[in-house]
Amino acid sequence: MRLPANIRRNLRLMRIGHILATHGLAALAVRMRLFYPYVWLVQLFRGDELPKDLGPQIRLVLEQLGPTFIKFGQMLSTRVDLLPMDVALELKKLQDDVPPEPFDRVCRVLERSFKKPLTGEDGVFASFDEQPIAAASIAQVHFAELKDGRRVAVKVRRDHISKTIESDLAILKLLASLFDRYFSEYRRLKAPRVIEEFATTIRGELNLRAEAAHASRFAENFAELEGVRVPDVLWEYTHHEVLTTERISGLPIDERQALEAAGHDCLKLCERAAILFFHMVFVDGYFHADMHPGNIFVAENGDIVLVDFGIVGRLDIKSRRYIGEMLVAFLQEDYRRSAEVHVEAGYVPADTDISAFEDALREIAVPIFNRPLADISIAELLLSMFAVTERFKMETQPELLLLQKTMVVIEGVARELADQVNIWMLARPLITSWVTRHMGPVGKTEAIAGELRDQLRDWMRLPEKIDGVLSRIEEGNVSFHSEPSRLPIVIGAMLIASGGAWLAWSAAHQASTPIMIFAALLTGFGFILTLSRA
């Protein structure tokens, strides 16, 4: 008989309290009111052989709590804006290593998805290997052969994993709310928001059709990029719980000795990795955000082959310009310009003391750039930069954290391939050229044109916005006295709109087309500002 949901939840919370108490974190459980009489009792009888440092304690707790919590810890390892550096580095040791799913469950998922037997005369596949080649917490991969002779790799989601993850997410949300309530001094960490971000990421990994779409988009983006490819997706054999791609053969990119024995030029592979990173981040603004060596292979012909597209990062053109100019400024050791770029991008407040911010950037960057060329780490630089966010009130940018995680992996891969070469120096000409193109006169003209297009699009939506405001007024949902601080802004916006309308009327009488265009834009801006503040 299945226990009621509230009883299951309480038993799960008791187990969490027990694990915290037996791993040196009883004080945390007590303060969060997690069955604290029981926790104190457990604390009395536990041994003293556990590590004393906070980082290892947290890592061991997450490993005990299972796959969802391990993935959460992996995500937290990139959040040095939230955690002390030593804890974040310790959480990087978390491995998503779980035993494979029994084959009868894998078969059940496949037959449920395809609505036919797995093999046999009426089956989907000619043959299917029962032993997986890779297993993780959400899915595992098997080799198979289609009836037309094509060899494929089949990624199968674990049976009922969705229910398990949703149950764990509910527990995590409850723990976040308790942490927010009982640790008021740490509310700046925004624990509930962090859990929401994590929930969005892990739910995205559950949908294998979405992963197939990511793979398809990467294949299009890499079409003109020499020496990089993505396995073809077989859409007719892909469902929400199953992803089928062509089977690739190759060596993991971190096995340098095997690559050299196979005749591959590791320096050329390192250069290709630099070009790949540059292309994803700056050209496409769409990058693979889980590029550990197990997801990067080298084919027999030397091509780099990427797999596993469950997590992707996206960067709009403004973010790409910011990152490019920031990297160039750091590579040129121009810390004043790097500080100014942060302010111009809006990532730190406009009233930030530029001189103090420059000193903070210099403090973390100079020791890194004083190392031998091969040891310079831009990923470490970003990691340290995020650590000063609280001091200068720099808002957390999730896409930059994903990018930093990708940089760490790319740097590690490059060092394995060619330990005397710095990947960022290889990419420097590409980045400098891109920044010159996009931050020069042509790029600035395109940026202004893009902003004007956005303003025009908003202006064209004025009738829709006016209808919305009128509807709110009719429904009594608009209060003109609830926020007095907005009144001067609304009045000013109305004056702008009125001034623009008067200027347009005057220009019409004088037949001045340029003034009429300017007046129309001014009027539209005034109306948009008025409606947005109403």
For residue 304, give the 3-state DSSP assignment: strand
Element (H or E) spanning 506, and its range?
Answer: helix 487-510
Cβ proximity of 388 and 360 under 8 Å: yes
* Pairwise CA distance, residues 49 & 24, whole Å: 10
**Which among 81, 159, 168, 290 is annotated as catalytic?**
290
* Pairwise CA distance, residues 451 & 448, whole Å: 5
Q: Which two tokens stand for residue 334?
A: 């121009």
Opening angle at CA 103, ends 102 and 107, nearest 5: 130
- Nearest CA to 306 out of 232, 369, 356, 365 is that of 232
- Nearest CA to 333 out of 354, 355, 356, 364 is that of 364
DSSP 241: S
DSSP 162: H
Residue that the structure tokens 């004056």 belong to? 495
- Nearest CA to 256 out of 419, 373, 411, 133 is that of 419
DSSP 134: E
Residue that the structure tokens 């038993």 belong to? 11
Backbone phi and psi for residue 286, each to the nearest 5 degrees, phi listed first: -150, 105
* Pairwise CA distance, residues 377 & 51, whole Å: 30
Backbone phi and psi for residue 46, each to the nearest 5 degrees, phi listed first: -80, 160
Residues forming beta bridges with residue 242, ordered by sequence position: 156
Q: Which two tokens stand for residue 81?
A: 């804006």
* Pairwise CA distance, residues 129 & 118, whole Å: 11
* Pairwise CA distance, residues 103 & 171, whole Å: 29
Q: Is 290 a catalytic residue?
A: yes
* Pairwise CA distance, residues 502 & 513, whole Å: 15
Within 10 Å of residue 433's Cβ, how many Cβ atoms? 13
Instruction: Give Cβ neighbours of residue 261 (< 8 Å, ≥ 6 apart).
Output: none
Within 10 Å of residue 41's Cβ, how many Cβ atoms? 11
Q: Which two tokens stand for residue 338?
A: 């790097």
Cβ proximity of 139 and 156 under 8 Å: yes
Instruction: Give Cβ neighbours of residue 68 (< 8 Å, ≥ 6 apart).
Output: 137, 164, 165, 168, 169, 172, 202
Within 10 Å of residue 497's Cβ, how many Cβ atoms? 20
**Cα Rg of the chain (Å, integer):** 28
Please identify every residue annotated as catalytic. 290
